[in-house]
Chain A
Amino acid sequence: MRPVPDRRLWLLVLGFSVWGSALGFVYVLHSVGCAFAWPANAIRLGLGLVLFVHLALVGLLWRSYAGTYPGAPAVDPTDSFLNWVILWTLIAAFVTIVFTLGPTLLLTTCT
C-alpha cells in the first residue's frame, strides 16, 4: 500500500475553510455595499453569487470525495479513515453554509 501523503491533512480543514471564505466574502461585500449605498438588488446579487460559488465548490468536492470513497477492505485503514472524515467535513460545511449564509438571500440588506 502506498503511504498516505502528508498533504492529505490539509484536506481535513478544506470544507470549513471554504465556509470561512464564504463568511468572509459575505461580510466584506455586505459591509462595503452598505457603506457605499449600493442598490439593494446589487448587494443581494453579489451575496447570492458568493453563496452560490462557495456552495458549488463544496458541492463539487463532496461529489468528488463521495465518488472516490473506497470503503473496500484492501484499502489502507488510515487512508479510509481520512477519506471518511474529509467527506463528512465537506457535507457538514455544505449544510453550515446553507444554514448560516442562506438568510442573506431573504432579509433586508442595510437596515
Chain B
Amino acid sequence: MAVALDPAEKRRLFERLSSVREIVFGVQDGVLTTAGVLAGLSGAVNGRTQIIMAALASTAAGALSMGAGAYLGTRAEVEVIRGELARTRQEAAAQPYVLQEELLEKLAGEGLTREAAYRVVKLLSGSPHALLTTVEAKLYGLGSAGGNALLDGITMGAAFLTGALVPLLPFIFIATVHAGLIAAMATTALTLFTVGYFQGWLANRERCWLSGLRFLTIAMSAAAAGYLIGLAIAPLGSVPSL
C-alpha cells in the first residue's frame, strides 16, 4: 500500500526535482557539445592530441559558461520575483480589498460560486499572511522566491562537466582517432538514452524508452551534423598536426 508523503516532505521533493532541469540540461548539453566537437574535429583535424586539447578546452569553457549562465539566470529570476512580491505586499497593506476582489474573481472563475468564493477569501483574510501567500500562489503563480542561484550554477556546471566526460574519456584512453570516436559515440548514445529514460521515469511515463529514444535521436543528429560540417570546412584550411 502506497504511503502518501506529508505536504512538507512533498514540497522538499518538488524542490529537489526542480534541480532535474539543471541536471538534464547540463548533461545533455555537455554530452552533445563534446560529442559534436570530437566528431567535428575528427573530420577536420588529423592530430589526436589536438582534438583532445580542443575538446578539453571546450569542456572547461562550456562548464564555466553554463554554470555562470544558470547562476545569473536564477539570480535574476529571484530578484525579479522578490521585487514583485515586495510590490504585492505594499499593495496588500494599502488596498487589501483590491487583492481580495482579484482572488475572489479567480476562485469564482475556477468553479466556486461567487458566494462561496467570497466566504473563502473572507476566511483567508483573517490572516493577512495567509491571504498574501494565497494571492501570490494563485494569482501570480509565484511560490517562495527561494531559488538558490549558487546551487543552480554549481549543479549546471557539474552536470555539463559530467556529460562532457562521457564521450571524452573513451576518446582519451583509446589510441586511435577512429576507434576513440566510435567509443565516444557509443557512450554518448548510451548516456543520452539513459538520461531520456530517466526523465521519462521521473515524469511517470509508461514508455520511458520513447524518451530515451528521443534523446538518442537528437544526439546522433547533432553529432552527425557536426561531423559533416567538419568534413565540409576541412578543405578551407589546413591545420597542422601536433
Q: Do A and B bind each other?
A: no
Q: Which residues of A contact B (CB under 8 A)?
A: none
